[in-house]
Amino acid sequence: MQTSFPDLPFTNYGKAELRPSGSRITAKPTSRTYPRTDLKTLTSWTSFPHDIHQAIRFATARAHLHSTPFSINAWTDTSFVENEEKLRAHAIFALHAPVQKVLEILGVNGWFTLPGGGNIAIVGDPDFSWIMSDTQPHPKVIVEYKTWWAADLVVAAFNGTPGDTLSRQSLHALEHIYGYMTSNNNKFGILTNWQRALFLRRAETSDRKTLEYHTIELDGPDQPISMLKAWVGMVLLAEDDWFYVSPTISSVPPGRNFGTSTTAWKERKGAVVDAQEYRMLPVDGDYQCLALDFRLCRFDLSSARHGANGCVVNARLLAPFVGKRDLQVVCKVVDVLRYPDAAKLLDDEAHAYAALQNLQGQVIPTLYGFYEVWGILKLLALQPVGNAILEDELIDQTLREKMKAALRRIHDAGYVHGDVARRNFCRTDSGDIFLVDLERCQRSENPSELDNEMNEVDGL
């Protein structure tokens, strides 16, 4: 594919189409969870074409490049797509690869990473995240895809009462990406259905949670800039001003605080009370999942450790008033919208903590709360219990006996842990052993099952 600076024309690209005789996932209402955020205002990003153009002009000057046409490898064949998964797969080669190649020519190295796995410093699992390197793993741009037949991404749906399915799902998609951007302190996001893309920038104030948007049509007439130029420029803007310098536990975006007025402190105290003051107790043998005010939870994004269906991240839950310490916790977080099955496993784990309530703080972590945030994230807020026993660590007889003693307490309560592995035995600074990850923990009255699990400790 041939293009050139600074306009980056994008005319020869791989088209995504519906197979004429094929099937597709049609838009229809379901009973699934929908995002509910604090987004209040959607306003036009009027300076977007100028901002993008200036970012590219500066980058080309910095790299000493000129407007001579150049070629980049790109997928130019037509792909037939029937669902979001196939649309995302098409976009990787037809759009993301050219964007990354142009950025590489400009001296900006990075990639759009897929969700799940790795040590990406992010909470939740958006479709794609732009990261610059393994040493700077916090995403700079969040990207979400919808199919054009399921969400037309017409922004008028936000300002009125969406009466049709396409409008409702467009609004849900907008709330969804805003939730990801807010949870991870991101300033920039791209919401696209391939044919149309909304380029988003958070412009938050203390009283109005605002997104600025600019719409680009892939094949629209009289577009001020090409889709390729818009994506490249968006990354350049984010690399210079993604939101905050350090994605640490102390980074607090403007408008994410309760404030310091008397009314604000009352609101903060009320929010802590609604969270049962982080001293949640089971009701009828189970923990209720309560809505948590997002402003109470400060994730340390740099500590996020991802698994296949979620992540574990350090955080602190804000105290209700001055003079009381914030509560340091470890959060086990699941993206409810992306991994509904994993959300069910988190429910099972909460049930196990309820069943083993008498062992909390002794051989399993104390569960401070079971919460959901904006209908996007569900989390267990747990007591920090040190670090997992390393795979290459020599387990001596004393340590092995401590591991068995902790597991025996669970067995004595009539349960098996269900996943005996080094990563699930944690050791505190004082040498105490705790078992974590109880999602497979279940009741067992079979002595041989208990014995077999105990013997597994000898194999670690």
Positive or negative, the CA dihedral 28, 115, 34, 44 is negative
pLDDT tens, 258-279? 777 888 899 999 999 999 999 9
Nearest CA among 172, 204, 162 for reference residue 186: 204
CATH of 387-459, one of 1.10.260.40, 1.10.760.10, 2.102.10.10, 1.10.510.10: 1.10.510.10
Strands 79-80 and 16-17: parallel
Nearest CA among 8, 166, 203, 13 for reference residue 91: 13
Instruction: Report which listed range, 148-152, 301-305, 436-440, is most confident.
Output: 436-440
E strand or H helix that includes residue 157 = helix 156-159
**Stronger pLDDT, 154 or 10, i.e. the higher one:** 10
The domain segmentation of the chain, as residue ranges, is 2-241, 262-339+365-382, 387-459
Strands (E) located in 149-218: 188-192, 196-202, 210-217
pLDDT tens, 157-188? 676 655 667 778 888 899 999 999 988 888 99
E strand or H helix that includes residue 443 = strand 442-443
The C-alpha R_g of the chain, in whole angstroms, comes to 25
What gap in Å lies between CA 342 and CA 376, rounded to an integer? 13
What gap in Å lies between CA 64 and CA 119, rounded to an integer? 35
Give the pLDDT confidence score for residue 448 in this predicted structure: 94
Strands 210-217 and 41-44: parallel
The torsion of the CA quartet 407, 408, 413, 417, rounded to 10 degrees, works out to 30
The CATH T-level fold of domain 262-339+365-382 is: Phosphorylase Kinase; domain 1 (3.30.200)
Nearest CA among 265, 115, 117, 124 for reference residue 185: 124
Give the pLDDT confidence score for residue 57 in this predicted structure: 93
**One fold for 262-339+365-382 and 387-459:** no
- At 10, phi and psi to the nearest 5? -130, 75
DSSP 8-class letter at 95: I
- In this prediction, residues 2-11 reach a mean pLDDT of 91
pTM of the model: 0.86
Cβ(436)–Cβ(367) below 8 Å: no
pLDDT tens, 307-338? 877 899 999 999 998 889 999 999 999 999 88
What gap in Å lies between CA 100 and CA 95, rounded to an integer? 9
- In this prediction, residues 76-101 reach a mean pLDDT of 93
Give the pLDDT confidence score for residue 264 in this predicted structure: 84
- At 411, phi and psi to the nearest 5? -65, -40
Counting Cα atoms < 13 Å in the Cβ hemisphere of 336 gives 21
What gap in Å lies between CA 313 and CA 307, rounded to an integer? 11
